[in-house]
Amino acid sequence: MLRFLCLLILTTAFANRATFDNYQVHRVVPENQEQLNILKDLEDDPNGLSFWVGPSRIQKAVDIMIPPHMLPRFNDILASINLKSEVYIGNVQHLIDTERPKVRPTVDFGWTDYYTLDEIYAWLDFLNETYPGVVTPIVGGESYEGRQIHGVKVSHRAGNPSVVLEGGIHAREWISPATVTYILNKLLTSQDPVMQDLVQSFDYYVFPVVNPDGYVYTHTTDRMWRKTRSQGGNRCFGADANRNFDFHWLEIGASSSPCSDTYAGSAPFSEIETRVLSEYLTSIADQFDAYLTFHSYSQLLLFPYGHNNDNVSNYDELLALGQAAVSALANNNGTQYAVGNIYSTIYPTSGVSMDWVRGVFNTPYTYSWELRDKGNHGFLLPADQIIDTAEETLVSLIVILRHAKEKLGRN
């Protein structure tokens, strides 16, 4: 524990960090195909713009971050296609400066701040030491830059069905690892009988940060980085790990342009992170019945598929269960979520981890949360919302796992 605390105190002064002074985030809603096409062309070759929510279909809002020097040109482009924008965030750097507490509370791993990869991994080691026989370290493989995809397995008894929790596949979505680690802590410490029953009834494979290189890069260099950090000889680094899985790869809602934030990679599983994680998941696939992934932002609870609007075999069950889950979530703190399949609820996508799991292993309970908020902070959700966000998410997760337990009819 001491070693762990020391690591926490060693929080950092980083040089060469990108700044975002007077960068704005605009929301635009394309109303015709021409406007949509222009936005899609910009996303493929963003040249300094950053799409926080990419263009997908007519009437679906798009959030774009614009550096101040590009604002005149951006406004010209919008004017030329008769599209109006609304300023959602007036100064991104201001949100970055106020995202985290001014003084890091050093007393504990307490979810009052966002933690670095080293801090999260030290905490996982601390759990291993603190809960022997219950917590086992697991390694989903190594990243492009040689970091472990480190996780833990929580198991109270042999022969349980399992649940996989996947966080941090998109680097800048810091609320995802924060929520996953919070839930992991509750699995180990909650005195609530409902939680304790779920902890006894399932094993949990928990990976808080499956894109560790990207996550580190958001801490050291560019807060708004999304992709992996591979160098394929392209002008731009990395691929979108959550477009890189080998399931309907690059069919829709993913880009073949290396500079796009939704670049699907040069081939299915071209990214070592998705390749090794998929191999690990394959090795435990006969054990898990639920695969739950965490993203931000938009307040959505999604289930397969993204590549088309066909209903999965238990569509009605997943929809009703999802609705029950978000209704419990809303009762907790008033936060409103929408529920549905990826394709119709957020946007068409392909090559995402959840769909690969569902498509290849037919895992019955697969959901993705798009956590808080709805764009006022976007990826820069203030750290003082971590606990409320994680708490309400846990409430929805409990609804899903209680149902899964009943339906699986084991234990």
* String of contacts with Zn ion for each residue 287-306, x by CB under 5 A: --------x-----------
Cα 306 to Cα 77: distance, rounded to the nearest angstrom = 30
The tally of CA atoms less than 13 A away on the side-chain side of residue 218 is 27
Q: Which tokens go with 32? A: 């015709």
When CB distances are held under 5 to 8 angstroms depending on the partner's kind, the choice from Zn ion, ligand NAG, none that residue 309 binds is: ligand NAG
State which residue, 81 or 188, has the beta carbon closest to ligand NAG.
188
Packing angle of the helix pair 175-189, 117-130 (nearest 10 deg) = 10
316 binds ligand NAG (CB under 6 A): yes
- Answer for the pair 236, 259: CB distance below 8 angstroms, yes or no: yes
State which residue, 295 or 405, has the beta carbon closest to Zn ion.
295
Question: How many Å is the maximal CA-CA distance in the chain?
Answer: 64
Residue 284: how many other CB atoms lie within 10 Å: 15
Cα 177 to Cα 184: distance, rounded to the nearest angstrom = 10
Q: Which tokens go with 195? A: 């939680």
Phi-psi region of 298 (alpha: psi -120 to 50; beta: other; left: phi over 0): left
Catalytic status, residue 145: no
128 binds ligand NAG (CB under 6 A): yes
Question: Judged by CB under 6 A, which of 33, 75, 309, 376 binds ligand NAG?
Answer: 309
State which residue, 132 or 409, has the beta carbon closest to ligand NAG.
132
Beta strands in 3-61 (DSSP E): 24-28, 50-53
When CB distances are held under 5 to 8 angstroms depending on the partner's kind, the choice from Zn ion, ligand NAG, none that residue 311 binds is: ligand NAG
Q: Which tokens go with 367? A: 């959901």
Question: Judged by CB under 6 A, which of 97, 125, 142, 251 binds ligand NAG?
Answer: 125
Residues in the chain: 411
320 binds ligand NAG (CB under 6 A): no
Residue 1: how many other CB atoms lie within 10 Å: 8
170 binds Zn ion (CB under 5 A): yes
In the chain, the amino acid numbered 154 is: V
State which residue, 183 or 241, has the beta carbon closest to ligand NAG.
183
> Which residue is listed with tokens 């934030």?
261
Active-site pick, 370, 391, 392, 406:
370
When CB distances are held under 5 to 8 angstroms depending on the partner's kind, the choice from Zn ion, ligand NAG, none that residue 129 binds is: ligand NAG
131 binds ligand NAG (CB under 6 A): no
* Binding segment (CB under 6 A) for ligand NAG, from list 2-10, 127-135, 364-372, 396-404: 127-135
Binding site for Zn ion (CB under 5 A): 170, 173, 295
Catalytic residues: 370
**Site for ligand NAG, rule CB under 6 A:** 125, 128-129, 132, 137, 309-311, 315-316, 333-334, 388
